[in-house]
């Protein structure tokens, strides 16, 4: 019971640490995934903005070309002498407007590129940090699992040695039981033979003489001796039952039980 109580807290602490590791690793992966999704969304939004700016520049260029064509058509219709100065001023204004528009677009593109670079650096730093934390958690979990494995191996080795010792003890008890059973069989044979001899002695006729050297109390002595032997047999039988219960094996009843009638003469 003591050994099981010591193993139980160890298993509980092991399950807690494992549960903690299982929870921490998905949280780190979830955080990393969220950061990557955020970066992807920002890149998509900035790409769309860049495409929109390019589209706006293209549309302005087309509109400028159309306006120039219209101006040329109007200049052809109008008098070239009266409209020459106004045409040049209008042309210079258009060129200046285009230059200002191009400058604004270039400045916007530069700002967008800088924002993209800054965002990329921040996201790269966050991703690197998350990967480092995840790798550290994996290393810690691996180390803990190896330690748990070593503890389990030691526990299994201890249990195996204990079972081996119990098996040896059971084998030794079985050998002792077999020896006791053989001794019991011999005792029964001796008792049966002595009982037969006792019956033959009691069956002698009264006219016959008692063998030389026998006293008047030979029956009491013989009965006492048989009772002592039967008591020893029952003590031996109880010892065999106790060893059988300890070893986990129960021999057949016919090999252990004596005959109750043998005790009374």
Average pLDDT for residues 12-41, to the nearest whole number?
A: 64
Q: What pLDDT sits at residue 254?
A: 38
211 in a structural domain: no
- Assess whether 185 and 195 both reside in one domain: yes
- Assess whether 11 and 33 both reside in one domain: yes
Directed axis angle between helix 2-77 and helix 80-202, to 10°? 170
Query: What percent of the chain stands above pLDDT 90?
Result: 13
207 in a structural domain: no
Task: Choose from 12-16, 32-36, 209-213, 231-235 the range with maximum mean pLDDT.
Answer: 32-36
- Assess whether 138 and 185 both reside in one domain: no
- Assess whether 157 and 69 both reside in one domain: yes
Question: What are 179-237's pLDDT values in tens digits?
Answer: 888 887 887 787 787 777 766 655 544 444 445 444 445 566 667 767 777 777 777 77
- Assess whether 159 and 170 both reside in one domain: no
Q: What pLDDT sits at residue 111?
A: 84
Average pLDDT, the chain: 73
- Assess whether 55 and 180 both reside in one domain: no
- Assess whether 15 and 102 both reside in one domain: yes
- Assess whether 122 and 186 both reside in one domain: no
pTM: 0.34
206 in a structural domain: no
- Assess whether 138 and 49 both reside in one domain: yes
160 in a structural domain: yes
Q: What pLDDT sits at residue 94?
A: 82
223 in a structural domain: yes
209 in a structural domain: no
**Counted domains in the chain:** 2
The candidate with the shortest Cα–Cα distance to 185, out of 258, 263, 261, 262, is 258
Question: What are 222-246's pLDDT values in tens digits?
Answer: 677 677 777 777 777 777 777 666 6
Q: What residues make up the domain containing 194?
A: 166-200+217-262
Q: What pLDDT sits at residue 201?
A: 58
d(CA 193, CA 191): 5
- Assess whether 59 and 110 both reside in one domain: yes
97 in a structural domain: yes
Question: What are 88-147's pLDDT values in tens digits?
Answer: 777 777 888 888 888 888 888 888 888 888 888 888 888 889 889 999 999 999 999 999
- Assess whether 105 and 230 both reside in one domain: no
Confidence of residue 5 (pLDDT cuts 50, 70, 90): very low
Confidence of residue 17 (pLDDT cuts 50, 70, 90): very low
191 in a structural domain: yes
Confidence of residue 157 (pLDDT cuts 50, 70, 90): very high
Q: Which of 120, 137, 164 is the last residue of a domain?
A: 164
- Assess whether 49 and 107 both reside in one domain: yes
């Amino acid at each position: 019971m003591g050994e099981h109580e010591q193993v139980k807290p160890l298993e509980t602490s092991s399950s807690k640490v494992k549960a903690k590791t299982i929870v921490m690793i998905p949280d780190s992966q979830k955080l990393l995934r969220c950061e990557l999704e955020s970066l992807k969304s920002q890149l998509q939004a900035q790409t769309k903005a860049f495409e929109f700016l390019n589209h706006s520049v293209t549309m302005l260029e087309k509109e400028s070309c159309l306006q120039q064509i219209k101006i040329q058509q109007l200049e052809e219709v109008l008098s070239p002498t009266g409209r020459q100065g106004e045409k040049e001023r209008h042309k210079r204004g258009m060129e200046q407007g285009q230059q200002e528009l191009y400058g604004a677009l270039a400045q916007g593109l530069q700002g967008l590129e800088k924002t993209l670079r800054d965002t990329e650096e921040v996201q790269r730093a966050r991703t690197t940090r998350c990967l480092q934390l995840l790798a550290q958690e994996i290393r810690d979990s691996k180390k803990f699992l190896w330690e748990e494995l070593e503890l389990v191996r030691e526990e299994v080795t201890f249990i195996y040695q204990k079972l081996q010792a119990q098996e040896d003890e059971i084998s030794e008890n079985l050998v002792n039981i077999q020896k006791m059973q053989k001794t019991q069989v011999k005792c029964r044979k001796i008792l049966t033979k002595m009982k037969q001899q006792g019956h033959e002695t009691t069956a002698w006729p009264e006219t016959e003489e008692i063998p030389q050297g026998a006293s008047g109390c030979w029956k009491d002595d013989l009965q006492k001796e048989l009772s002592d032997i039967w008591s020893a047999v029952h003590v031996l039988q109880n010892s065999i039952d106790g060893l059988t219960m300890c070893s986990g094996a129960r021999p057949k009843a016919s090999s252990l039980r004596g005959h109750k009638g043998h005790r009374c003469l």
